[in-house]
Amino acid sequence: MSAPGGDTPVLLITGASTGIGAATARRAVEDGWRVALAARSEERLRELADELGGSESALAHRCDVTTFEDQEALVRATIEHFGRLDAVFANAGFGAARGFLKESVEHWREMVETNVLGVAFTIRAVLPRLRDAGGGHFVLTGSIAGRRPLPGSLYSATKHAVTAMAESLRQEIRSDMPEAAIRVTLVSPGMVDTPFFDNRPEDALEGDDVARAVMYALSQPERVDVNEVLLRPVRQAG
């Protein structure tokens, strides 16, 4: 059976069930992309895929990003369903209360594995496909917290790691895969009003604000590599 959509590009999104990931999926389909939606909540993914037009435009696939086998299966399923993979948005992640005497060590471990190792696994699962295809685009969700240390914030440390990972990946591609037109973008938002917070913040960015930044980077001519997009709410000082 031929893949639906033919030459329409395909964007894979982790952490796609809510917040920035779901908003980006909506923007991507609106802009003419097909999307592979990944998260641990399969029910929410299926609801979003139905909203976006069903299997012709959206694939829902459960994935725990901390498990490399899940990520490999996700990439295979995307290519089997759509026949191609053009870009990936490594967006899965969550936070923790500030303070090295707060949160459980189990919460810390899951956060570090998701925010750091999960992104690395996404890169490892997708990079051979984009290399062999001769091009593509990685977008990683960073944070303002990944640009400066925050008091007692292990979350900040995980986003510093993602910031370094984005540039490390870009340099590896340029050094080891010079013929591959693979781009790397780090999207670093300030405070965003998403389910990330128990108490929803005021005067924050919305998920769609970040989604439009992602689509801006993806929409640039092939010769342009937008390395980082930094965006804050107007009233955020730091």
Distance CA 168, CA 198 (A): 33
Strands 181-189 and 205-206: unpaired
DSSP class of residue 114 equals I
Nearest to 112 by CA among 164, 71, 158: 158
User: Does 155 qualify as catalytic in the annotation?
Assistant: yes
Number of other CB atoms surrounding residue 230 within 10 Å: 14
The separation between CA 99 and the C-alpha centre of its own chain, rounded to angstroms, equals 26
CB 39 within 8 A of CB 15: yes
DSSP assigned state of 86:
-
Catalytic residue, from 23, 27, 155, 226: name it: 155
Phi/psi at 98 (nearest 5 deg)? -70, 145
What secondary structure letter does DSSP report for 111? H
Q: Is 186 helix (H, G, I), strand (E, B) or coil?
A: strand
Q: Which residues pair with 87 in a beta bridge?
A: 11, 137
- As annotated, the active-site residues are 155
